[in-house]
Amino acid sequence: MNSKTVLTHVEEGVATVTLNRPERLNAFTAEMSTALISAMAAFSADDTVRVLVLNAAGRGFCAGQDLSDEGVAPGSGAVDLGRTLENYYIPLIETITSMPKPVICAVNGVAAGAGASLALACDLVVAARSAFFLQPFANISLLPDAGGTYFLPRALGTPLALGYAMTGERLPAERAAALGMIWKCVADEELATTTAQLAKQLARSAPLALKAIKAAMRSSETRSLGEALRYERDQQRMLGQTKDYAEGVRAFVEKRSARFVGA
Ligand code: T3D
């Protein structure tokens, strides 16, 4: 994990991954996408890491695909955007959504195009009040990608998803929070501390429960109520036999904080 465009740092079970192309508002190049996927996949597999935080350097979060990158810019050779999606965005989004641990996204500024989709793929999104979400795809005659057509209607409902995708109107962080698209909107100067506190809280929480919650919520739309009830039964049966369940109940009875080990 050695890249100038994606920085990483691990402390007390929290891995922080930072997009680092501030001069281009952290727009995705092939190099940055590869480095990001590689960092995400490595932390996903690392049992010492309980929570991931994705944040960004500079004044923007991510301006989506770098439109001047080779293979994407019209006139720079053969353009096959399907290949870019296949090689970079599909693996990236699936790595985040299938990761067996929470991913927190701190949106410090504009999240546009695939940058907005990247944020929405994360489990908990905290945004600074000055940040905004943007679907600029139609401006360049594209449709939302990197999961945009999946996440937006689910987060906003079809009417608003259509409106933002068709008009490219800015969705300010405060309104995104009010609409339920993101977890929280906080004052700009509180973004780092709010994110760090949330990460610490989740890093102390029960890893197997967080893994099960994420998997269950992310796949819930594929199940009927009857299937959901039975899926919960099976998961709860498994969780109820873990050391962490015994520890959680013991800690409650003894009026102390639980020490979860992920087993
Ligand atoms: O398969 C595929 O590859 C297709 C996948 C597509 C996925 C997508 O994400 S498509 C959508 C791509 N993104 C955009 O269309 C957004 C383009 N950017 C903007 O509309 C604006 O930059 C923003 C609204 C995001 C921010 O505006 P502002 O005024 O705050 O900043 P700016 O001055 O426009 O940008 C600062 C610099 O970043 C500037 O460079 P300069 O002039 O200082 O040298 C600008 O050109 C650069 N930049 C911003 N976005 C991109 C970019 N450079 C390359 N690609 C970008 N997407």
Q: How far is the CA of 38 from the centre of ligand 1 (A)?
A: 24
pTM over 0.85: yes
CA 27 / ligand 1 centre spacing (Å): 7
Nearest-angstrom CA–CA distance, 28 and 106:
17
Of 94, 96, 93, 122, nearest to 183 by C-alpha is 122
Contact 22, 7 (CB under 8 A): no
Residue 157, CB-side half-sphere exposure with 13 Å CA sphere: 5
Q: Which of 19, 21, 25 should be mutated for ligand 1, with most atoms under 8 A from CB?
A: 25
What SS3 state is found at 81? Answer: helix
- What's the CA gap between 125 and 171, in Å, rounded? 14
Determine the distance separating the centroid of ligand 1 and the alpha carbon of 65, expressed in angstroms.
8
Q: From ligand 1's centre to the CA of 201, what distance in Å?
A: 34
152-199 pLDDT, tens digit per residue, is 999 999 999 999 999 999 999 999 999 999 999 999 999 999 999 999
Decide: 65 in ligand 1 pocket, CB within 6 A: yes
Cβ–ligand 1 distance for 122 under 6 Å, the answer no
Dihedrals phi, psi of 14, to nearest 5 degrees: -110, 120
pLDDT value for 116: 98
* pLDDT tens string 117-159: 999 999 999 999 999 999 999 999 999 999 999 999 999 999 9
Residue 70, number of CB atoms within 10 A of its CB: 11
Partners of 185 in the beta sheet?
127
Residue 102 predicted with pLDDT over 80: yes
Token readout for 235 is: 């998961």
